[in-house]
Structure 1
Amino acid sequence: MGYIIGCYTFLRKYSDRTMKGQALLFIGLLSLGSVMGQASYTIPEEMAKGSLVGNIAQDLGLDTKRLASGKARLYTRDNDEYIKLNRERGVLLVKERIDREVLCRQTTPCALHFQIILENPMEFYSVTVGIIDINDNVPTFEETEIKFKISESTITGAKFVLERAVDLDVGINGVHSYELRPTDNFALKLQHNAEGNKNVEMVLKTPLDREKTEQISLVLTAVDGGEPQMSGTMLIVITVLDANDNAPVFTQPTHKATVYENSPKGTIVATVTASDADQGSNGKITYSITNTLENVRKVFKINRETGEVTLIGNIDFEDSQHFELNVRASDNGGLTDSSKLIVDLQDVNDNKPEINIMSKSNVISEDAKHNTVVTMINIEDKDSEENGIVQCFINENVPFVLKSSTNNFYSLLTDSDLDRDISSEYNITVTCSDEGVPSLSSSVTLT
């Protein structure tokens, strides 16, 4: 199931050493090296605790005795650990039940990333475990019943926007098709938008006659493509009215807006506008947001009368870089039009670099060779572009050097001969600064 992606030396010299700080390093006996490789596995979600993920010792070419002598352990930046290492067997096992929808929501592909750390000599390996979706969620509609008031004078071909069903599963296990029954007066129309989703509409195909039928009940069924198939339904109740022959029309099918991620609640994001050629109550338009994912409605609200969209929740560029709001304009006769509002978030430098100590040696022999690794560090800045670019350095006048590699990993290595008679301890401060304006920085003292 697993295979080795590659192996490369985790060293690249970084020469900027300009800050001073306090840290304590005892001199003892330990010889360290630095090796890094990669392994990848793929498992389905919802596997039972203790299930086998892969033979990591075999895939990395390691002896199980090396796992024990090197005190092999997993390192992850996340709070939750879903995978555990069995040193004796040299295998990775499922530690906690993995729910792909909780772990990744709608993001694909979904994967866990962590490192395996060994000591004496110090090594680490990167491991990726891809999580495959299974069909364990039913398509659901936000409302079990939706009501329309439609004039009997409505011409055939008129469209009525319906809410899409939501299925937390992804890919083929997500919503696959819709069905509308009965089909005497209305037909179902699906339109694929640029994002790959389906806009659901019902279209009037035969005229309505209030004198014959005052109320019509339809059932909209959403079916996923999983095995076995799952489905959800919504009842559509139509009350037939007299006279309203013009539907609202938005000024444009797609609206766009940009807002800073630290904007306060109450910020006006955009105003959407629709018009209706009818007069009086039939021409009065009300606006609503029809997104079924509740995170959108927790962040934005729309003024039913003016179409003004306002920020009501906190927005974080690091969580979501843009939002898509489905907006509906309805007149009093039940006719509707839909538009999309795309809100792009603009990043601000609001995250300091995070310094994570992957592994550290408190003692080292005075006869240690040059380039002996004493500490491994991982740096993470959640901001984007320049705000997330980080440079790290250590204080001067110490016989150590900080070297970097790709993916924000650093190693602290010996840079010259050590002499316990001259100095038995050292103070080392690692400082990391991003390139945002103003720049944010963090530091850590190695003891």
Structure 2
Amino acid sequence: MAVRRRQRLGPGGGRALLGAVLLCVWWRAAAERLRYAIPEELGRGSLVGPLARDLGLSADELPARKLQVASAGKKQLNYFSVNEENGNLYVNERLDREEMCGDSATCSISFEVLVHNPLNIFHVEVEIQDVNDNAPRFLKENIHFEIIESTPPGARFSVGVADDADVGSNSLQGYELGTNEHFAVEVKDSQDGSKFAELVLRRALDRESESNPPRTGTAQLWINVTDANDNPPVFAQDRFRVSLREDAVPGSTVLNVSASDADAGTNARITYGFGKMPIKVLQKFMVNSESGTISLQEELDFETTRGYVLLVEARDGGGLVAHCKVEVEVLDVNDNPPEITVLSLSSPVPEDSPVGTVVALLKVNDPDSGENGQVSCELSGEAPLSIVASPGGSYKVVTAGALDREQASEHRVSVVARDRGRPALWSSTELVLEVSDVNDNAPVFEEAAYSAYVAENNAAGALVVRVQARDADAGANGRVSYWLAGGSAGAAGAAPLVSVEARSGALYAQRSLDYEQCREFWVAVRAQDGGAPARSSTATVRVFVLDRNDNAPRVLWPAAGAAAAFEVVPRSAEAGYLVAKVVAVDADAGRNAWLSYELVQASEPALFRVGLHSGEVRTARAVSERDAAKQRVVAVVKDHGQPALSATATLHVVLAESLQEALPELSDRDAVSELMSDVNLILVVSLSIVSLLFVSTVIFVFFFKFRQSRKPPIFITSDKELYSTLGSKAPYNYCSTEGTFLFPAATGFSGASVESGKC
């Protein structure tokens, strides 16, 4: 008996099939989804489709975009690969539709394709089309029937079901029986659409004439003609259907099948068993040979096999056999939590990434069915991220708000996937997203304005102040350098005074500072980071030079180093009479310039006193006749520095009612010289000039008179004539025979006379 199938390929069908490999069909099923169709049994390296072109990527973009296949299942990853150079999708290993999808009417492989920079995910589905590469076969290679010779024509005997792994038009189409005058085959359709064959007796058998007629075909039939048992067992129905939960425990009863036999005795005794079935089915179930009860031997798994077809035989004692089919549907139980696979994670992500940037791609799969396999995902944790569902069970984790590395350099969120089963099962995975730095922060000084105090006379290179700026960025973006950016005298003017160390921000004095020359100045310091482009900020540093007591008081009056100054105090002066005022200044400041006066030496210590802060020299008591006419007073001027510096002032006091009265007391040359020096040095010079003019005039007059009159020498001329002549021509007074020297009127001291030893 041969099993027939419909032949669809002509003599050139093989070559046409190979040609179809290069004509793979593709189309877009939806946004971000591609679909291709290829025949099974393609060899490794066969083209599936121009994936990069269909995604809108050019060949120049491929190195940067990094097109790659990614899937939650390792098996799917091995089926296909992407060429990095041209972006085409190729078969990575031999594809067998029957092995991949079994007897399913359709077969397709879904996987994800990742594109980077920016990150995106595309769903690709490849339909595997069936090729007629499997021949039909009976479950048993040899089928034995024992038929008694008295069996009437028209009796039917079940041959069973043949199997064809192919689907559609390539599957089982019918049964044929070789030429035979005793038997014929009839094809019947079962309720599930499958076809089974029955052997029909066409004419009466005669055991004595032909006990075992030979037959040919794929299955050999041996027919033994026996006596009596002329009724085969009959099942209550040809096909049974039963549902079984996948969590059924081994030993559970699946179904009880029963058959009846109209014969009696041993011919009516029925035993049950399984027909030829795959080993995996025989391992799962067992049938009681006496009762026909089918029970479960091993645990079921809906995700592995969703149904089984059991072929049950009922055999009577005479050898007649009946068959029925038991279809066991495995019911899903929510026993699988969702599986989360991280396809791609872009970490770190720049902090200036716009909202909606894809940072992670996830694949969530639940092998359960129905509501048990319907999954929803959510994020738990405080992070500016959200999750978006994509077709095919994929999810995108995208930024939902602005990122700020300075506030949070890392975000940890949990992706929770939960199915809709009852009770619901869930699973989670943690995503750690690092945020990379962008130079979005300028350095910030600890203070907007700094004040520094430096004592004068500092050493060159002394530390003035240290400024500090902090940059919230990281790496080179947060590395701060310092520069001078100007000052009170401009950048060039300030540079000689201070310098700044680029790394530490320390300002150092370039030279010794002098409070008396510069009491304060300011410089601008710029802090700049190492980002590109760089960011900077500026702070002002005001430097105050502190005074040191490096200047002694300077006496302005009486002048130091000149001739001694004289003050005339009347003898009638009472206590408190103002004699003179010592005037002094100090170039320092503050306490270093606070001056105080003390009397350190005096001819009559009890006669004079000096004001502590005013420097006024006054009489401490009334002047008496016993006091010497000449008094010498020495005062010291001190500042309040540490240590204190001082200067002295010497004052000469003459006790007299007037200057004329005081002059006789000053008869010594030194006193006159000191007085003249004290009055004015210019007066001395003027007197010298007047004397020179006087002598020149006398010589001129003598010479003139001698040439005019040729009289006796002028030395015998009477004084009266000479004086009258000089008096009429010379504008100056002169020295008389009494020894009195008269000052020129122009000096302002006309009428004043100074006693001299000689004219």
- Classify the TM-score, shorter chain: 0.7 to 0.9
Counterpart of 1:38 in structure 2 is 33
Distance 1:406 1:425, change over 3 A: same
**Cα distance in structure 1, aligned partners of 2:213 and 2:320:** 16
1:149-177 CA deviation, whole Å, 9 max, x = no partner?
11112121111111333232223333333
1:350 corresponding residue in structure 2 = 335
Counterpart for residue 241 of structure 2: 256
For the 8 Å contact 1:2–1:55, the answer to whether it is kept is no
- Note the C-alpha offset of 1:203: 0.8
Residue 61 (1) aligns with residue 56 (2):
yes
Q: Which runs of 5+ in 2 are unaligned?
A: 1-23, 433-759
- Report what 1:17 is aligned to: none
Residue 443 of structure 1 and its aligned partner are, at CA, apart by: 0.8
2 CA distance for matches of 1:309 and 1:2? Answer: 47
Q: Choose which of 58, 65, 88 in structure 2 pairs with 1:70.
A: 65
Structure 1: tracts of 5 or more residues without a match: 9-36, 222-232
Amino acid at match of 1:216: P
Residues 349/308 of structure 1: CA separation in 2 closer, same or farther (3 Å cut): same
**CA deviation digits over 1:403-444, x for unaligned, max 9?**
224433222111222211111111111111222233221111
Structure 1: 4+ residue segments shifted above 6 A? none
2:116 aligned residue = 119
Q: Of Structure 1 and Structure 2, which has the larger fraction of its residues in strand? A: 1
Determine if contact 1:151/1:333 at 8 Å carries over to the other structure: no
Instruction: Compute the displacement of 1:291 (Å).
Output: 5.1
1:258–1:142 CA distance, 2 compared to 1 (3 A): closer
Counterpart for residue 392 of structure 2: 407
Mapped partners of 1:177, 1:136: distance in 2:
17
Aligned partner of 1:276 in structure 2 is: 261
Give the match's secondary structure for 1:241: coil
Q: Distance in 2 between matches of 1:140 and 1:245?
A: 29
Give the structure 2 partner of residue 340 of structure 1: 325
> Quick one: distance in 2 between partners of 1:185 and 1:397?
84
Letter in 2 for 1:418: L
Match of 1:314 among 288, 299, 307: 299
**In structure 2, which of residues 22, 26, 29 is the aligned counterpart of residue 3 of structure 1?**
26
TM-score (norm 1): 0.86
Letter in 1 for 2:399: T
CA 1:403 to 1:58, structure 2 compared with 1: closer, same or farther past 3 Å?
A: closer
Specify whether residues 308 and 79 from structure 1 end up closer, same or farther in structure 2 by C-alpha distance, changes over 3 A only. Answer: same
- Whether the 8 Å contact between 2:268 and 2:316 is mirrored in structure 1 is yes
**CA contact 2:148–2:229 (8 Å) conserved in 1:** yes
Residue 184 of structure 1 deviates from its aligned partner by 1.7
Write out aligned runs for 1:13-412 (5 A).
37-80=32-75, 81-219=78-216, 221=217, 233-290=218-275, 292-412=277-397
| TM-superposed deviation, 1:235 | 0.9
**CA displacement 1:56-92 (0-9 Å, x = unmatched):** 2222322122232111100123322121111211211
Kindly provide the amino acid, as one letter, of the partner of residue 5 in structure 1. R
Residues 76-128 of structure 1 deviation map (CA, whole Å, 9 limit, x = unaligned):
23322121111211211121121222222222322221121011111222222
* Higher helix fraction (1 or 2): 2
Counterpart contact for 2:143–2:219, Cα < 8 Å: yes
| Paired amino acid for 1:75 | A
Cα contact 2:306–2:331 (8 A) shared by 1:
yes
Structure ID, larger Rg = 2
Over aligned residue pairs, what C-alpha RMSD do you find? 1.9
Displacement of 1:7: 4.7
Kept after mapping to 2: 8 A contact 1:2/1:39: no
Count of aligned residue pairs for this structure pair = 407
CA distance in 2, matches of 1:217, 1:280: 31
- Identity of paired residues, percent? 38
Structure 1 residue 347: Cα displacement: 1.6
Give SS of 2:100's match: helix
Per-residue deviation, 1:142: 3.3
Change (3 A) 1:48 1:322: closer
User: Are the equivalent residues in 1 in contact too, given 2:34–2:123 (CA < 8 A)?
Assistant: yes
Structure 1 Cα separation of the partners of residues 356 and 68 of structure 2: 23
Cα shift at 1:242? 0.3
C-alpha deviation, 1:368, in angstroms? 1.5
